Amino acid sequence: MDNMNQIVNEAMKRIKNSDIEMLKIVKSEYLGKNGILTKILKSLLHYSIEDRKKIGFEANKAKTILESEIEKRKEGFKKALLVQKMQKEKLNFSPIFYFPFSKGSFHPIVQTMQDMILAFKSLGFSIAEGPEIETDWYNFEALNIPENHPAKDVQDTFYLDGTERLLRTHTSPGQIRVMEKLKPPLKVVVPGRVYRNEASDASHSSTFHQIEGLRVDKNVTLLDLKIILTKFIHIFFCYEPCIRFRPSHFQFTEPSAEVDVKCLFCKGSGCRVCKNLGWIEMLGCGIVHPNVLKSVNYDPELYSGYAFGIGVERIAMLKYGIDDIRLFYENDLRFLKQF
């Protein structure tokens, strides 16, 4: 037994001081086919049963200890090699290091939407979101759009299964979802992507982005709406473009209006972009229809509100002087690098 302790101690010292090659030799000398501990286990036949148990137990114990220490030493070598390899392969990201790819930037639509959101936040609006896949109730019925309205035709709307689920045609369903959760007063904008089943041209696309705005409180008037939209336009464009409000019709607002801005391309003389009208339609707005308030259990005798919907692409075209909406989606780097 004293020899067994001496064998283990000597082996432990050698393992501790071994390099990777010497470790293989030590393992062979003690645990190999002709190793010291292997020979001891083979010699047990020459001992009595009692001695076999004692010597066998101690030999197997020593074998387990040495195997464990050898594996630990191996793992230490592996980690050291890995660290050494990582140091050699380490990339230098200092300013001197040359990075061959050009710096990225926000897409002009994303940038425009973020700028619009910041402008509305400065005017006291909070931000909400809604799903792109909507139900007929949120997209049409709750917004006072009747069953036979042309907006519900398959020529205008992408339906997913029958007529119950669809890709939202505007971000206005977001105002219904907000009003279902919150009680007045509220002041919120809902940005997002929308879909229309229509042909693409210089000023229209089947997929585009909108920001829906809503305020509901006591005694909200059309004057409040005109003031907030005028402030937004001045904040966003950083100057006072020539704008006009003209009467219009939307099912979910009454009265309704559209806001036009004088064409920045022809300065009002008429061109392809403004369809020779001298003005470009920028957004639709109005006073929230009483039926919309009733659909979310708001009392229209107590509360009133205004709503507006702004096309982000159209605003981006006006801000950056772009005369074709299709340029935003052609992924031409010569175009996108300008932003």
Based on the fold, state whether residues 218 and 284 are members of the same structural domain: yes
Model pLDDT, residue 178: 95
Give the chain's mean pLDDT: 86
Model pLDDT, residue 254: 93
Q: How many domains does the chain have?
A: 2
**pLDDT single digits (tens) 134-173:** 999 999 999 998 887 776 776 688 988 777 899 999 999 9
What's 170's domain CATH number? 3.30.930.10
Based on the fold, state whether residues 204 and 291 are members of the same structural domain: yes
Question: Considering the domain boundaries, does residue 103 fall inside one?
Answer: no
Model pLDDT, residue 93: 66
Based on the fold, state whether residues 237 and 304 are members of the same structural domain: yes
Report whether pLDDT(62) > 70.
yes
Based on the fold, state whether residues 134 and 66 are members of the same structural domain: no
Based on the fold, state whether residues 124 and 7 are members of the same structural domain: no
68 or 213: which carries more pLDDT confidence? 213
The model's confidence at residue 119, banded by pLDDT at 50, 70 and 90, is very high
Model pLDDT, residue 99: 60
Based on the fold, state whether residues 332 and 251 are members of the same structural domain: yes
Structural domain of 317: 108-336
Model pLDDT, residue 92: 66
Nearest CA-CA partner of 243 in 311, 325, 318: 318
Model pLDDT, residue 275: 80
Give the mean model confidence (pLDDT) for residues 194-219: 87
